[in-house]
Amino acid sequence: MLTDLSTDILKKYTTRKEKSRATNTELLKRIINESGLKIGFIADKVGIPRQTLWKKINNKSSFNQNEIAAMCDVLKITKLKDKEAIFFANV
């Protein structure tokens, strides 16, 4: 599981386009893919419908604090730097 992102990876996936959004979609999708977990499983663990999770991943709506915490737990994202790069890309 991905627990520590290198600076090069963070720079690569924090593009100018992504900085205008709250969630770094490309990076989050990559982490989900690398985790091997299915979207339906992740959505269930986060406590939201699968379609809602897709909307949040693709910046059609925002993750709330509890959802971010749950996503980090499920995906084993532990480092603050990684959480910020994924969920607060434009801050």
The pLDDT of residue 62: 93
Quick: pLDDT tens for 23-49.
999 999 999 999 999 999 999 999 999
Q: Average pLDDT in the 73-77 region?
A: 98
**Whole-angstrom distance, CA of residue 33 vs CA of residue 28:** 9
Q: pLDDT-based confidence at 89, cuts 50/70/90? A: confident
**Mean pLDDT across 3-18:** 49
* SS3 readout for the chain: CCCCCCHHHHHHHCCHHHHCCCCCHHHHHHHHHHHCCCHHHHHHHHCCCHHHHHHHHCCCCCCCHHHHHHHHHHHCCCCHHHHHHHHCCCC
